[in-house]
Amino acid sequence: MKIQLYVPPGGYFAERWSRGSSMPPLGILSIAAVLEKEGVDVEIVPADILKLGWHDIERKIRDERPDIVGVTSTTENRFQSFKLVKLAKEACPEALTMMGGPHASMAAEDALAHIPELDLVVRGEGEMTMLDLCRALGRRRGINGITHITGLSYRTNGRVVSNRPRSPIPNLDCLPFPAFHLVPFEKYNFKIDVPGRGALQAVNIMTSRGCPFNCNFCATPINWGRTVRVRSPANVIQEIEFHIQNRGARVIHFYDDTFNVSVKRVQEICDLILERKLSIFWQCEIRLDLMTKPLLARMKEAGLFYVSFGVEAGSERVRNTIIDKKIRIEDFHNIVAWCKELDIVPNAFFIFSHPTETWEEAQETIRLIEQHKDEVEASVAILHVYPGTPLERTARETGVLPADFSWTEKHPSKIITLPTAQGDVPLFLDRLTWAQVSELLFRWSFSGGRVSIARKIPRVMANIRSVADIKRYVIMALVYIKLKWIKLFKRKRP
């Protein structure tokens, strides 16, 4: 049995990867590692990194005739994932086509109902589901052999069937390290700037899965589960040392949703880094109300130089009642002060246009960003709707998503997206007008946001699809000009 696992040609569509650097796909690297350990012939095809076009992919599948073609998917790149599935079935009709990844996991039945070329969807953690599937197919029992496999969705007699969800893997230490050797690692050019050191070779590592928190826009608790499972400190250090020796890693990007969910474990990881004198720098994402100054100081001592965290909104009502974030603004001010004292770069996430958020409340957020523009790197976004989240339910109830909305339909009317920024993900617009949202985004960019307007113009023009798109971009242009004039006028005033 031969399996090919693909990343589509467009990659993951994130703005941060638009400058010639990218990050290896941990999900399919982990699945491949498990399959390879069990003797399965598995190939990872990162079409984005290999710069494969659609004709190249079609030729590869037609010539090599794999038994299974699997495609990873995010909501941002879902249309490319759909296209690759269709192309694979055309090139090799006898191959089993499947999708996995965040989007397919959350919208499995929608995808199977609308894409006849798609045979299977792996929901949630894919390692054991894929292994069970390979074993079942090896016994050649057909559809009857997969009805018991948890975490799998498929069609039978024209009807979409979803087997029971798979229980999360309780002991993550039992998994082999992701199969980095199956991708051309050097082609990712994965480097991260460390203050005073320049761009250094980086490697991404995930040390935990799951999230116990309840942010309304986030699919992580549904994808990974609410019970957080963590790798042991010794196991984490072993992988770090492996990447230092084999890939020249100088920076570790911890890809956990909440790295400090266990304070004791973070302390133990830091202790081991220092005991073993590992010459690395690292960055991670934390939960504000779980952080203390002594812990942050220990993390700094062990190599932390950049820490990210979600604030989401300046308004307490929006942050804690609407989003269900449940953090205090004092927690934000504390971390900013501690980072300044310890020489750590703080990166705060903010979102505009939450359900029921008013213009006055949105301005609380932008004022917070402007207040700390010299102390905090602020990352902002317009609220995106992802499948399976509480926000998707709200979007359908309020009409932001039509009642008959399908995630497989391209460019449905009344759905607003900004593909030049984050792919075709529906935006949630409620109380704020497009002009107000535009003003918030530009005020952020004037406060140090990493946005090059000139660099975006060609991509904006290439993605105009309707008269409504033109109107929105005209509004953005007028708001930009207005704010520029105001800024210039203030500068000239005595």
258-291 pLDDT, tens digit per residue, is 999 999 999 999 999 999 999 999 999 999 999 9
Q: What is the CATH number of domain 2-162?
A: 3.40.50.280
pLDDT at res. 291: 96
pLDDT at 455 over 80: no
Mean pLDDT of 444-470: 72
Phi-psi sector, 423: left (phi>0), alpha (psi -120 to 50), beta = left
Lowest-pLDDT range of 4-18, 264-278, 331-345: 4-18
pLDDT at res. 141: 58
Contacts 24+ apart (CB under 8 A), 137-144: 137/1, 137/67, 137/68, 137/96, 138/1
Domain boundary assignment for the chain:
2-162, 190-492
pLDDT at res. 227: 87
Beta partners for residue 12, in sequence order: none
pLDDT at 244 over 70: yes
pLDDT at res. 143: 62
Confidence band of 196 (pLDDT split at 50, 70, 90): very high
Quick count: other Cβ atoms within 10 Å of Cβ 54? 14
Confidence band of 450 (pLDDT split at 50, 70, 90): low
Dist CA 371 CA 441 (whole Å): 15
Do the Cβ atoms of 104 and 122 come closer than 8 Å?
A: yes
Beta partners for residue 97, in sequence order: 69
Asked if the 190-492 domain carries CATH number 3.40.30.120, the reply is: no
As to burial, measured by CB atoms within 10 angstroms (0-12 exposed, 13-18 middle, 19+ buried), residue 296 is buried
pLDDT at 18 over 70: no
User: What percent of the chain is predicted at pLDDT more than 90?
Assistant: 80
Which residue type occupies 309? F
Do the Cβ atoms of 209 and 225 come closer than 8 Å?
A: yes
pLDDT at res. 448: 79
pLDDT at 367 over 60: yes
Q: Given CA atoms 400, 211, 308, 30 in this order, what sign does their dihedral have?
A: negative
pTM score? 0.94
Q: Cα 147 from chain centroid?
A: 30
How does the average pLDDT of the chain come out, rounded?
92
pLDDT at res. 43: 98
Dist CA 103 CA 108 (whole Å): 8
Q: What is the pLDDT of residues 66-125, one digit of tens each?
A: 999 999 999 999 999 999 999 999 999 999 999 999 999 999 999 999 999 999 999 999
